[in-house]
Amino acid sequence: MEFITGYRAEILDFAEVLFDWYRRFLLEAAGRRGSERHKQQESSLRRLPPDPALWVLHTLPNHALAFTVADPAQQVGGRFYSEEVLALQDLERFITFVGTVEEEEEEEEEATPQAGQPLWRVEHLLLVTDEHGTILGFDFLLGGPPKAAGQEPLEARALALLCYSMTCPLGAGEPRRPKTLTVGDPVLHKSLEPLLSRLGVAMSKGPMRGWGPRPAFTFPTTRVQACHVCKKHSFEGQLTACQHCQAVLYCSERCRKLDWSRSPEDIGHRFWCQRMAGYMSHARDLANLPFTFAAEVTSETFNKEGFLSARGLTRGYWAGESMLVRVPDYGVGLQGPPKKPADFLQSGNPFEALRPEGGAALPPAPPPPPGTFFGSWKEYYQWRGLPLGAPLAVILTYPLTMYYIITQLAPQHFPELNILNKQSLKIHVVEAGKEFGVLMAFWELSVLLPHVSLEVLFVGEALPQELDGQQFLLQRDETHGVSVQPGLAPRAKAGRRELQMGFSARPYHLLQAPKPDLVIGYNSGFALKETWRSCLPRLQSLRVPAYFTECSEYSCAVDEAAVSTATGGSASPALINPFRSPFRRAGTDNAMPWYANAFVFHLIYKASAGTHRPAPLAQPPGPGSSSGNAPPPPPPPPEPSRSRRKEKRQQRAAGRRRK
């Protein structure tokens, strides 16, 4: 059993929902032949409950975009891509989008697909939504120009699409029939009228003009869940959670049984069910956050797009949180390779990219430096003068988690380092991911720790190659807020309020750099990236304190097993991170609570033969911690039989690589 919630770009889950729905629609359309079936379908559609919301059939011409499909055989079991696809750029193995605008003639050349890969041109997109923007169905008209609108095939396709959208609404909800429909094409509107009246659907008085989504427009499609085993989506049938743990979703008794006794045993649900029941019982602790919006954003049905757009969180770093905002995204691998990665690394107010539309930015530095170390969002927000209704924690979770590790966890777990007395700290961020997309937010570290000169080196193959080996110095600047200078500019006196950032776009085990004081990996997913298999042994040989965050306790348990396989060491018990992101991420095939940076643990290295230094012991934060809510007791670690499990994991990993 493997869950990838929290690691895969949401837009990929969304793409898979669309693909699955469309595949079923085409199959159904191909099977619907003969007038007998037509009549049956008509009468069953007439009996559907009416939807009071207005439905809209949009006919959207497309001249800008075409695509090629690499190898249809790579579509795994009727799915568009496998679970190994985590970022949008991984999709390029399967599909490539080709622009067809600009200079037509040149474009023809550029758009020439590779041998065996025909270029698909989408002439029209037919899209059925309701007036709130919920997508109910869609169809493409491919290839040459469609015949004059209103004639076959457009009308027939539009009717077939409307019928299937009623019996199998994509976005959400039970089968239903719109009371009223409006169409974005006058000819089509007229010709559909008699056909639809037979189904009990009234047409609006005239064709639609200038429809736009209402202000409350969202994508309620996040609630399209899937069976954990066969990935069947909720629009194809009822999904139910495992009765005992309530954590995993299945479409049928058959899938539940299959999952229960998968082999090897440690991927079967039999092995995990009890543990997952434990993880589920911590859902409330994870949702316990001081924000005024906490109930909304920690709910299982949290509508993130609605939340973001209602608050004007559509620009800067917030764009990386949304599927709807089309702006360049500098997060690694979220929207293709970043083009100008240094764009957000510029002088000015470092928190400009956290500012909501029409709102004010966080000041670069508040007046008095803090006299204490904060252990909760509440304390931090108070000192920063932020209202508890400000959602900045979603982005500040990255620097604040680093701050929490420096000031609270590392001093307790590795007291011999004396980390709190250091004038300068070297920190490596390994396998840098989403945190790379919010670089300037790390300035908050120099606001919180003005006496420390910090060097943060972001390392990982996913970083843009052109940044490899580059350094930047961020310094407090009275006129601009913060000045960013490339290279190693002269240091300010006593290293006050400055932050050095470096980048290495290579795997960690190939990095040539002085040993850091601390290593941090955010939302690491050891089992999901091959590079961890070399990174973890490197860390073991360096014996540097290494902390990792995860989106769930389940991920921590999987990581622990991966550490044991890769290094023979282990991981400390996972603690709830008080500086986790407040946004709950929806699990597609499970109901577990997932949050970015939800849990923290550190590596426990295998004692090496030469040294007698004992491995550091894991301790929960002691009374010195100012954290208000003590983390719950750690979950039971996975059962022993480690060597056997280790073997199996290795075999499985080898099997995966062969694919």
Nearest of 409, 480, 489, 491 to residue 453 by alpha carbon: 491
| Candidate ranges 241-249, 523-531, 546-554, 611-619; the one touching Zn ion (CB under 5 A) | 241-249
Choose which of 17, 128, 183, 242 interacts with Zn ion (CB under 5 A): 242
Between 251 and 459, CB nearer to Zn ion: 251
Interface with Zn ion by CB under 5 A: which range of 9-17, 238-246, 309-317, 440-448? 238-246
Which residue, 273 or 332, is less far from Zn ion as judged by CB?
273
Closest distance between Zn ion and the C-beta of residue 168, in Å? Answer: 17
**Closest to Zn ion by CB, 593 or 616:** 593
Q: Taking the complex as a whole, how short is the minimal distance between the CB of residue 224 and Zn ion, in angstroms?
A: 15
Question: Residue 161: helix, strand or coil by DSSP?
Answer: helix
List the structure tokens of 561: 């097993």
Per-residue interface string for the shown chain with Zn ion, residues 214-233, x marking contact by CB under 5 A: -------------x-xx-x-
The distance of closest approach from Cβ of residue 564 to Zn ion in the complex, given in angstroms and rounded to an integer, is 24
Residue carrying structure tokens 């029941």 = 277
Give whichever of 225 and 401 is closer to Zn ion, judged by the CB atom.
Answer: 225
Our finding on whether 1 is near Zn ion (CB under 5 A) is no
Q: Binding to Zn ion (CB under 5 A): which residues in 124-143?
A: none
CA dihedral 211, 216, 220, 221 (to 10 degrees): 40
Q: Least distance to Zn ion from the beta carbon of 268, Å?
A: 11
Integer-rounded Cα Rg, in Å, for the chain is 27
Among 224, 273, 332, 474, binds Zn ion (CB under 5 A): 273
Q: Which of 126, 192, 249, 255 binds Zn ion (CB under 5 A)?
A: 255
Does position 596 interact with Zn ion (CB under 5 A)? The reply is no
Closest to Zn ion by CB, 233 or 413: 233
Q: Does 239 participate in binding Zn ion (rule CB under 5 A)?
A: no
**How does DSSP assign 562-574, residue by residue?**
HHHHHHS-EEPPP
Q: How far is the CB of 228 from Zn ion (least distance, A)?
A: 7
Q: For Zn ion, which stretch binds (CB under 5 A), given 258-266, 267-275, 399-407, 444-452?
A: 267-275
Kindly state the number of chain residues that form the binding site for Zn ion, as judged by CB under 5 A.
Answer: 10
Query: What would the two tokens of residue 171 be?
Result: 């976005």
Task: Please state the closest distance from residue 20 (CB atom) to Zn ion, in A.
Answer: 13
Per CB under 5 A, the list member of 214, 244, 340, 515 interacting with Zn ion is: 244
Strand ranges (E), 532-583: 546-550, 570-571, 575-576
Residues 6+ apart with CB under 8 A from 19: 79, 80
Please give the Cα distance from 522 to 510 (Å, whole number). Answer: 20
Q: How far is the CB of 284 from Zn ion (least distance, A)?
A: 19
Contact between 591 and Zn ion by CB under 5 A: the answer reads no
270 binds Zn ion (CB under 5 A): no
User: Do the bridges between strand 498-504 and strand 471-477 make them parallel or antiparallel, or are there none, so unpaired?
Assistant: antiparallel
Minimum Å gap between C-beta 270 and Zn ion is: 9
Nearest approach, Cβ of residue 241 and Zn ion (Å): 8
| 562, 534 contact by CB (below 8 A) | no
Tell me whether residue 51 or residue 589 sits nearer to Zn ion (CB atom).
589
Rounded CA-CA distance 175/49 in Å is: 8
What is the per-residue burial (b if ≥16 Cβ within 10 Å, else e) of 362-378? bebbeeeeeeebbbbbb
How far apart are alpha carbons 465 and 456 in whole angstroms? 18
State phi, psi for 566 to the nearest 5 degrees. Answer: -80, -30
Please, what is the minimum distance in Å from the beta carbon of residue 275 to Zn ion? 9
Residue 531 identity (one-letter amino acid):
T
Q: Show contacts with Zn ion in window 52-91 (CB under 5 A).
A: none
Q: What is the smallest separation between the CB atom of 446 and Zn ion, expressed in angstroms? A: 46
Query: Do 14 and 221 contact (CB within 8 A), yes or no?
Result: yes
> Among 87-95, 273-281, 465-473, 648-656, which window interacts with Zn ion (CB under 5 A)?
273-281
E strands, 41-118, are 50-51, 55-61, 65-69, 95-99
Residue 312 Rama label (left phi>0; alpha psi -120 to 50; beta): left
Tokens 């001093």 — which residue? 411
Binding window for Zn ion (CB under 5 A); candidates: 162-170, 207-215, 247-255, 288-296: 247-255
- The CA distance from 382 to 392, in Å, is 13
Check: CB of residue 521 under 8 Å from CB of residue 459. Answer: no
Closer CB to Zn ion, residue 329 or residue 589?
A: 589
Q: Which residues bind Zn ion (CB under 5 A)?
A: 227, 229-230, 232, 242, 244-245, 251, 255, 273
